Amino acid sequence: MKDTIAEQILSEHLVEGKLKEGAEIGLAIDQILTQDATGTVVYLEFESMGIPAVKSKVAVSYVDHNIIQTDSRNADDHRFLQSCAAKFGVVFSPPGNGVSHHVHRQRFGIPGQTLLGSDSHTTTGGCLGMLAMGAGGVEVAMAMAGHPYFIETPKVWGIYVEGRFQPYVSGKDLILELLRRYSCKGGTGKIMEFYGPGVKNMDMSARATIANMSVDMGFTAAIFPSDEETRLFLAQNDRENIWRELKTGTNPQWSEKTEIDLGEIEPMVACPSNPDNVKKASELSKIDVHQVIIGSSCNGSYRDFMIASKIMEGKIRNPNVSFEINTGSRQTLDNILAMGGITALVEAGARIHESGCLGCIGMGQAPATGTVSLRTFPRNFKGRSGTRDDQVYLCSPETAAASALTGRITDPRTLGDMPEIAYPRKFKFRSDWFIQPPADPAAVEIIRGPNIQPLPEFIPLADSLEGTVLIKVGDNISTDIIMPAGNRVLPYRSNIPAISEFVFEIIDPEFPARAKERGGGVVVGGENYGQGSSREHAAIAPRYLGVCAKISKSFARIHKANLINFGILPLVFAEPADYESIEQGSKISIPNIKRAIADGASEIQILVESRKVVTRLDVSVRQRRILLAGGILNLAKQNT
């Protein structure tokens, strides 16, 4: 990793271990962000540690996911989060302020610092030259308490960029091209670092979009240089004083290297139902579109909406298209209002929604049955939209706007000359949109609605484990499949017994009842099990139902950490062919597992019926202690 920005930041924040690829290291965390879909559990976890105040330099609690208030539960959780923020010394960003990732880079992100968030798309902060990573909520709570954040030392993949984008092509097209080439698991255990003469031609919208979706390739983080483009963005946000130059050195040692000519990138579209199922927009021109949404954590920048408004100006959406706008932040909404962008979009027939995640997390905006929804979002997992048999495609704002006009997927290069976009010298902003913690937090009482329940307590690891295979699933199973989102499920995020009733609902509604009837058991999965969202409910809820182990061909990084942190064994088949020989209902036993883990065994022999199968347990010494204790909170209590 010599001479990379990644190494520079890792070295400055290293507090445990050595920078050796694959070795576990502990990093000091400068900044924390939480969001409401995962944040309520984070604050319950932090509160259980008995620490009076957050110890990181900056901590911000965002309400951006569950902002639709169809009953009292979301509003109750918002009051809980606001009171927790006041109690523990955290800045509170209320509903309407916008998506955490956009607001944070606009108002709080600092080049060269570390950022940890309870949302997988926290990687967006890499657009500023931060080491920004998503994690499970309990790891965020531990970092809030001043503990290091632990990861395996990542490899660094260099992305050399030259040239400039052709008209109507932008950052979303580049990250979709990379997903097409390298798949949704190509970046596992790696950091993506951009360098080369073409980087200066990538604006902050492109950088934020690419950094955001780097996690959808499996990357731990994505890092861009902190350069003149970064300085300009910070100056526009009246924060130039915190700028610091960061650049790749003259002799970087990459684990892999990819060369990109921006001029060769074309408009791309991810087809249902995975972000790496990518084709050229020009190849999809016969597909009719019935919903187009621009916005979300991925493409919610000022530039994204202004280019859409210029494309739509003086025109009208296709009558068969519901054209919808979700700005990334209140600041962005205010500024595109000031520049006339909202007027052009409204007059073109667009529906203007609140700044927030909304349809990206299945919180409203569900598409009609049997129709195509074209979105600038980062994910299109089956059912995530709120419609069970959805057909969700992902694209750039340029492609989205062009398609809203024609009613079919349209290569925006067919529109003629690309319009120019004007930027304000300074973006409009009000600091009192945020709620600062009070001077006397001791006087604050935490407000708990009736749906906020204590975290369940889990017992330490047993000497041996036995159970049946409760479910067997295939490759690329996302956390949306394991623990669905949406406005029907997410209001129970602070109530583990209630939300556990929805585990695997999208593919097997009988799973919770079967797990309870059989006293728990084992889950078997394929490659890249647990990709997608960082939500730790996909580990806590199965553990609550008695799942003691998950055995797969491979795991996504964050989900594997979440399983360990809640005492579920993450075992990997030593021989992938053994996956084929196990069926739902097979009896599994794992004898003497407690001793094997304590002794440092990496090869774990399990019995499937009466047949021996070899699995691997690839965990650190620290993670072995967590598994033995039955979870990281149990271990923390043992050490206090």
Confidence of residue 637 (pLDDT cuts 50, 70, 90): confident
Question: What's the pLDDT score for residue 40?
Answer: 94
Confidence of residue 488 (pLDDT cuts 50, 70, 90): confident
- Residues 6 or more apart whose CB falls under 8 angstroms from that of 216 comprise 179, 184, 275, 276, 378, 379, 531, 532
Instruction: Report residue 195 as tokens.
Output: 């360098």
Convert the pLDDT of each residue in 255-296 to its tens digit.
999 999 999 999 999 999 999 999 999 999 999 999 999 999
Question: What's the pLDDT score for residue 140?
Answer: 97
DSSP-assigned letter for residue 531: B
Q: What is the CATH class of 5-264?
A: alpha beta
- Contact yes or no for 424/335 (Cβ under 8 A): yes
**Cα dist from 2 to 152, 251, 255, 520, whole Å:** 17, 7, 11, 47
Q: How far apart are CA 640 and CA 632, in angstroms?
A: 13
To 10 degrees, the CA torsion angle through 428, 434, 439, 443? 160
433-447 average pLDDT score:
94
241-261 average pLDDT score:
96
- Contact yes or no for 140/42 (Cβ under 8 A): yes
Question: What's the pLDDT score for residue 342?
Answer: 97
- Contact yes or no for 69/59 (Cβ under 8 A): no
The CATH code of domain 465-638 reads 3.20.19.10
Question: What's the pLDDT score for residue 331?
Answer: 98
Convert the pLDDT of each residue in 489-538 to its tens digit.
988 988 999 999 999 999 999 999 999 999 999 999 999 999 998 889 99
Strand ranges (DSSP E) for 240-290? 256-261, 268-270, 278-280
Q: Is the pLDDT of residue 640 over 80?
A: no
Question: What's the pLDDT score for residue 22?
Answer: 87
> 116-135: buried (b, 16+ CB within 10 Å) or exposed (e) per residue?
bbbbbbbbbbbbbbbbbbbb
Q: Where do we find the tokens 């990732």?
A: 101
434-451 average pLDDT score:
94
Question: What's the pLDDT score for residue 145?
Answer: 95
Q: Is the pLDDT of residue 33 over 90?
A: yes
Confidence of residue 487 (pLDDT cuts 50, 70, 90): confident
Question: What's the pLDDT score for residue 636?
Answer: 85
Mean pLDDT of the chain: 96
How much of the chain exceeds pLDDT 90, in percent? 93
CA neighbours closer than 13 Å in the CB half-sphere of residue 85: 27
Q: Is the pLDDT of residue 465 over 90?
A: yes
Question: What's the pLDDT score for residue 556?
Answer: 95
Q: What is the pTM of this model?
A: 0.95
Collapsing DSSP states into helix, strand and coil, what is residue 411?
A: coil
The CATH code of domain 268-415 reads 3.30.499.10
Q: Is the pLDDT of residue 1 over 60?
A: no
Q: Is the pLDDT of residue 38 over 70?
A: yes
Domains of the chain, by residue range, sit at 5-264, 268-415, 465-638
Convert the pLDDT of each residue in 86-108 to its tens digit.
999 999 999 999 999 999 999 99
Confidence of residue 638 (pLDDT cuts 50, 70, 90): confident
Within this chain, domains 5-264 and 465-638 share the same CATH topology? no
